[in-house]
Chain A
Amino acid sequence: MDDRIWHQHYDQGVPTSLEYPDLTLSALLVKAVADYPDRPAIHFMGTALTYRDLDEAVGRFAAALQGLGVGKGDRVSVFMANCPQIVIAYEAIWRIGGVAVPSNPLYTGAEFGHQARDAGSKVAVCMSMMWDRVTRALPDTSLEHVVVTNIKEYFPPALKVLFTLFKEKSGGHRADLSGEPRAVWMKDLMAAAPASPQPVESSPDDLAVLMYTGGTTGVPKGVMLSHRNLIANSRQLQAVSPGLREGEEIMVTALPLTHSYAMSVCMNHSIDRGYLQVIVPDARDIKGLLGTIDKERATLLPGVPALYSALSAHPGVTGGKYDLTSVAQCVSGAAGLPPEVQRRFEELTGGKVVEGYGLSEASPVTHVNPLHGGRNGTIGVPMPDTDAKVVDEDTETETMPPGERGVLCVSGPQVMSGYWNQPEETAETLRVHADGKTWLHTGDIAVMEEDGFFRIVDRKKDMILAAGGLNVYPREVEDVLYEHPSVREAGVIGVPVGGTDQRAKAFVVVDPDHPVTAEELIAFCGERLARFKVPRMVEFRDELPKTFVGKILRRELAEEERRHEQGG
């Protein structure tokens, strides 16, 4: 890659360009198994799987999926929280040339169904706690089989017994599959399957994942990521983290593996380097997470600012009960990293917390701060082989000089090939510039400083930044509100709920003949939307602010809300 002004900031030993292997993600696991067969690959709630164990489970599940008719290029939905089975599912799908379609475990049946339908998934792998939701979505999908697994499958024996007795039913983990011929238990399927699948010819350019994202307005679009894209991102991440020891590091996988961030930064990166992944089923259990970091002597903890903040503030930490000094490196994504959060967590761990940036369309990481000489308030500098520039907001064609705002564009081996079945959206987002390179137009408004650090200053997209780095698009919430027979007009905005997190607030005009309460509308949304998308407040209005031709102006609503807040 040609010289760029930001290369001067790279840590010592970080190259500007890398060699990428001509391999698939499956080949990375095969290599890890060959190099470190007896090293632990996964720790989960007290259970340990070596790389050999993982490989055996993957082989068997891959054969089982083949038995269900999954062939090369077929899509398989993955609707799971973090557990060993989701890693097994991803790897098994890839081993037989399939395409994984991850769905956020917080999604409702309708949201899951939409993604499975759009992707044309043939099979879904879900957890028993999602079974009810999947059942409701089934009629609207092309799913031929649903493989169900209980989170307890990989619990150690004693915990499994306790869980079955006390937690399984109350936690919604018990599922009755008897009435549904398309459903089958993962453990039964694996017990009956051959040890390994029929070999499938795969190429690094094959599709590995359809990662759904809201796009600019919230209509879900499948981001097409190839094996080559994802391996490139794994290698770029390794390159900017010098000093990590192959086969030695202990990664905490606490963020959801259905999101591109954890899939790449935690899972693919770990398997590529023979690390141990400590899988945490629920990052909101801060106490459990602290205990895990302490006990496992974890060294890598990718997260989001709210997570580092919650860990730092826990009484067990301030009281010195947990030892976090094993933590060496943390890449923080999703939202701006407040300096205080960074300083506090670095103090507690003695490690480094650096802010990065990415988007699913780029596998996802494109920028990260150097470990030494990072700059607060910035997303750092582009990773090796990653080019970046800021273009004018109006036409998105003219490169802006340093210091001036515009749309951030990136180019590199980690950038997607397009959106699934959306040629127009693809053409809008991926554009060939005069330099002959294909550039991803991120939609985020950024400034490049004189010396090559990048700052995000605004978002071109209209979205609500919910806790945990989750995005909510006003359109999808309004869509649900309009389904209610009383709602005539709706406008949804984000309102702050402490720190940088937002929650949705809905402004609605209702039919006076069909009154409805705010509680009823919130409950209505709760049945149709994942919890983080459900409006926390509903305000009734006689009319909504509109332009002359009748377009509804959410921005006006947000302004009014802000003035109201400031006015007390």
Chain B
Amino acid sequence: MSAGRPRFIPPLDLRPPPGPGEEPVVWFQMPDGLEVGLRPIHPEDREALSEGFRALSDDSRYHRFLTPLPRLTDAQARYLTEIDQINHFAWGIGLRDPGGGLRGIGVARYVRESADAEAAEIAVAITDEHQGRGLGSLLVRALAVVAQTHGITRLTGVVLAENRAMIRIFEKLGGTTRSSGAGLVRADAVLGGQGLCNLGDAACTELVRVADRAAHPSNRHRGPDGA
């Protein structure tokens, strides 16, 4: 894999199964050396998501909701975490926490559009200090992999024209962006192009496996009670 792309860190063979309360995480090393882990978002993340949102800069919150929302309402926080993992799926991204698990630094999600079952709108939020390191791009590629397994062939976005980072992500996916007035851009990317697969087969397989586990709770390790 060439330099400049995230490198998948394969799980060790013969690794022990995740312990109680532990989540399967897919690890990548970014071109600048940063190691990040991805795992699906689930309802237990509600509080962490709200806290993370409050810690974003004004501009980052504005880019995400197109209004300077200072904090998520309960309804919003539930909507963003109580998800079915198929029509609405979200990756959380985090750094290795010395105490075990992940320290969250971002989220990316897709939600299937009601009018077009093959299209899904995406949204990305990365904490300010980690913006500009390619994490959004990695997350969207990881989303695309999962989306495709659920019959989604197009990713769309309603993006602020000044949000160049998000527009570049769509451009890198081979997508198009079209001004829709009032400072907004409508972005659209058809999946299945070669551009998406640069995470590598091993990484894609692992991402699909972990997402699938989240979509089928019976397979999901929920600690002693849910085991």
Contact = CB atoms under 8 A, between A and B. Distances in A.
Interface of A: 215-217, 219, 393-395, 424-425, 428, 445, 458-462, 475, 478-479, 482, 488-491, 509, 547-555
A143 B166 CA distance: 38
Name which of B67, B111, B177, B178 has the most chain A CB atoms within 10 A of its CB.
Answer: B67
Contact of A482 (B70, B76, B183): B70
Contacts of A553: 66, 158
Given A393-B178, A549-B123, A491 B183 contact: no
A546 to B, nearest CB: 9
A285 to B, nearest CB: 35
B71 to A, nearest CB: 9
Contacts, number: 90
Contact of B67 (A424, A425, A445, A490): A490
Nearest to A392: B179
Contacts of A219: 58-59
Interface residues of B, number: 39
Contacts of A460: 161, 179, 181-183
A393 B179 contact: yes
B123 A555 contact: no
Interface string B50-86: 0000000011001011111110010010011000000
A394 B69 contact: no
Return the 3 tightest CB-CB contacts between A and B, nearest first.
A393-B179, A549-B123, A548-B111
Contacts of B179: 393-394, 460
A552 B160 CA distance: 12
Contacts of A547: 121, 158
B210 to A, nearest CB: 21
Name which of A217, A551, A555 has the most chain B CB atoms within 10 A of its CB.
Answer: A551
Nearest to B165: A424
A217 B162 contact: yes
B111 A552 contact: no
B184 interface: yes
A547 B184 CA distance: 13
A77 B117 CA distance: 55
Contacts of B148: none
Contacts of B109: 549
Nearest to B59: A219
Interface string B179-216: 11111110000000000000000000000000000000
Nearest to A425: B162
A554 B69 contact: no
A554 B62 CA distance: 13
Contacts of B93: none
Contact of B80 (A459, A479, A550, A552): A550
A166 B185 CA distance: 55
B73 A488 contact: yes
A554 B160 CA distance: 12
A395 B111 CA distance: 26
B113 interface: yes
